[in-house]
Chains A and B, each alone.
Chain A
Amino acid sequence: KNQVEQSPQSLIILEGKNCTLQCNYTVSPFSNLRWYKQDTGRGPVSLTIMTFSENTKSNGRYTATLDADTKQSSLHITASQLSDSASYICVVISSGGSYIPTFGRGTSLIVHP
């Protein structure tokens, strides 16, 4: 069964600090991996999309890495801001026919001033 596991479940950091969120998956066959940011009560917004051949991709202060061999990804947030407080969801897309997405449960990040 395709699964996406995220850690930690929740994280509290001080404004200005860096943090790294983890995503492990067992989805096969693999097509691509996505990180989304979801503010409370809103729909998710895409941060990055990574394919098998991409190891690193940045979007401003967000940098995602992918190790397709170990089936692991990370999302690094640099110089955190209060507005980074949100849930960060890892999604892995299977290439088996219809590109069905498998979602992780998300990591809840709280940035304190």
Chain B
Amino acid sequence: EAEVAQSPRYKITEKSQAVAFWCDPISGHATLYWYRQILGQGPELLVQFQDESVVDDSQLPKDRFSAERLKGVDSTLKIQPAELGDSAMYLCASSLGPRQNTEAFFGQGTRLTVV
């Protein structure tokens, strides 16, 4: 069964270090989302891609976060430098497109701990 792949599953990093997460969406899915989920809260959209273009990144802290999807397939989310408050689950999701009734499938997430 096709699934959204994310790596690593867990990451521990020291503050001020750089960290990167990778996401491989389901084949053929044009829309890709990155979310941040703090423990006990719902996911917060960081960035939405349509193919290789950014559709929405209004909630992305651009001074330290960057995201790219160069060939419109897999994507990387980077944090530099990491801060203690960045500790969270980072979820990637993909869908065939942004239209209504198009189901979004989530990966297992990357649990980031900044020490």
Binding site for B on A (CB under 8 A): 4, 31-32, 34, 41-46, 49, 51, 89, 93, 95, 98-101, 103-106, 108
Number of B residues whose C-beta is below 8 Å from A?
28
Q: Which of B49-105 contact A (CB under 8 A)?
A: 50, 55-56, 89, 91, 93, 98-101, 103-105
| Secondary structure of the A contact surface, majority rule | strand
Task: Pull 27 A–B residue pairs with CB atoms less than 8 Å apart, ordered by A.
Answer: A32-B101, A41-B89, A41-B111, A42-B108, A42-B109, A43-B4, A43-B91, A44-B43, A44-B106, A46-B103, A46-B104, A49-B101, A51-B100, A89-B43, A98-B48, A98-B50, A98-B56, A99-B98, A101-B104, A103-B35, A103-B42, A103-B43, A103-B44, A103-B45, A105-B40, A105-B41, A108-B40
**Distance (Å) between the CB of A2 and the closest chain B CB?**
11
Binding site for A on B (CB under 8 A): 4, 33, 35, 40-45, 48, 50, 55-56, 89, 91, 93, 98-101, 103-109, 111
Instruction: Find out whether the CB atom of B98 lies under 8 angstroms from the CB atom of A98.
Output: yes
Query: Contacts of A51 on B, CB cut-off 8 Å?
Result: 100-101
User: Which residue of B has the minimal Cβ distance to A99?
Assistant: B98
User: Which residue of B has the minimal Cβ distance to A50?
Assistant: B101
